[in-house]
Amino acid sequence: MARRATKSPKSAAAVSQSVSASADELMLAALDRGGDVTKTGRFLVTFKESAADAGIKSLSAKRGLRVADARDFTNQSFDFAAAGDAGAMVFSEIGVALVGGDAAVEHGINAAEFVAADAPAHSVDPEYFMFATQINPSDYLRGVLRTAEMIAEDLGTQETGGAAVRDVSAAVAGATWGLSACRVPPSHFDANGIKVAVLDTGFDLGHPEFAGRSFVTNSFVGQPVQDLHGHGTHTAGTACGPASPPGPVPRYGIGARAQIFIGKVLTNSGGGTQAQVLAGMNWAISNRCAAISMSLGAQIPVQPSYTAAGNAALNAGCLIIAASGNASSRPWNIQPTGAPANSPSVVSVAALDSSLRVAVFSNGGKVDIAGPGVNVFSSWPRPTLHNTISGTSMATPHVAGCAALWAQTSQALRGAALRAKLIASARHLPLPATDVGAGLVQAP
């Protein structure tokens, strides 16, 4: 059982920027502060490589902070509420710490000497809100619609969606167009024995087409893993759905026998915080998931914390695959890849339509590979069961699923080697690399 820090009553202001604060509390606090509502008011400390333990000592001994550690929890399944009055939370697997806003100021965490040449910290950066890259962030916080629309504009995460699909007669016979384009149906591999993590809004654990499948789950947002949004169920369906769904339903899943790790890092409203996402990454890496699919982000610069997490993943034989984002309106307005996909240690995924053209919303610049991302059919929470939606969110699990198939072909294909194989095996497209990277992902 995990150790819990003592919790005592706090003022609303203190709770709003504490380590244990929920995403909704942080959002409301951002409203009260005004100004830049894309930031939570807390800070992320990224430690130098192999300096996490020294960093913990620096936070606790030198700075006088009470520090909670993800390693105190079974399989690093951290519960933010359990942090109580702790001033900092450390994700040791990736070498990053979350520090409450008030604690950072009180203990000088944002002072220049904290990131001096001889200090364990590499950087101290503000924490941002994160969103599912299929969700319109204006729906994130019900009841504060106007403010959430400001966040949608600032973060550029809006994407297109479709009505629930009950009549699948128009789907490609036998398999979705995306799986066919990635050459999944003729592949002899099914990701058997491969761990695949999907960090999203959770999953409908009672979905009938996943009966008997192996799941490992954890929520980092203070809500049950059960997906009441749909985004996570859709992305997990593409990455790990069944090879032979019942009736007229076309095949929509790639890693049909993968062991599925569901990390709920976004709430049922489709939003969360950078620390919640990092907690999920830390958990997936600690469980040595070969492929980690992340259909989420924000239109912000490269974040040292995500780069550190990506490097930790590669060193552990894992590969983080993330959506490039959907802020573009091609051809006139092409926006740069958002975070975490813009980190050099993370595989960035662009979206293609069924004609293998770049999706109009797909971001550009730092793009490593492309996947099917327009009118993608996949699983959806009950009672609908299926849905067709579009976005780089939908392209990302195509790449993650194919990565799992490649990982099955050889134990040597892990981390950087798996990334190299994905890039080398991609189908070349007559399009700029800044739009599609190496090309369309292909199954082995």
Catalytic member of 24, 200, 204, 368: 200
d(CA 255, CA 253): 6
CB 282 within 8 A of CB 199: no
Residue with tokens 């950078």: 274
CA dist list (Å): 37 to 25, 140, 148, 342:
13, 13, 9, 21
CA dist list (Å): 239 to 51, 254, 259, 380, 394:
34, 5, 11, 13, 9
Active site residue 231: yes
Residue with tokens 């710490």: 97
Backbone phi, psi, residue 410, to 5°: -160, 135
CB 351 within 8 A of CB 361: yes
309 contacts: CB under 8 Å, gap ≥ 6: 94, 96, 278, 281, 282, 285, 320, 340, 345
Catalytic member of 229, 231, 234, 398: 231
d(CA 139, CA 147): 10
Q: What is the CA radius of gyration of the chain?
A: 21
How many whole angstroms from its chain centre is CA 227? 15
Catalytic member of 234, 393, 398, 435: 393
Query: How open is the CA angle 79-101-103, to the nearest 5 degrees?
Result: 85
CA dist list (Å): 386 to 144, 162, 270, 362, 375:
29, 11, 18, 23, 12
User: What does the DSSP 8-state code read for residue 249?
Assistant: P
Backbone phi, psi, residue 175, to 5°: -160, 160
CB 118 within 8 A of CB 98: no
List residues with catalytic annotation. 200, 231, 393
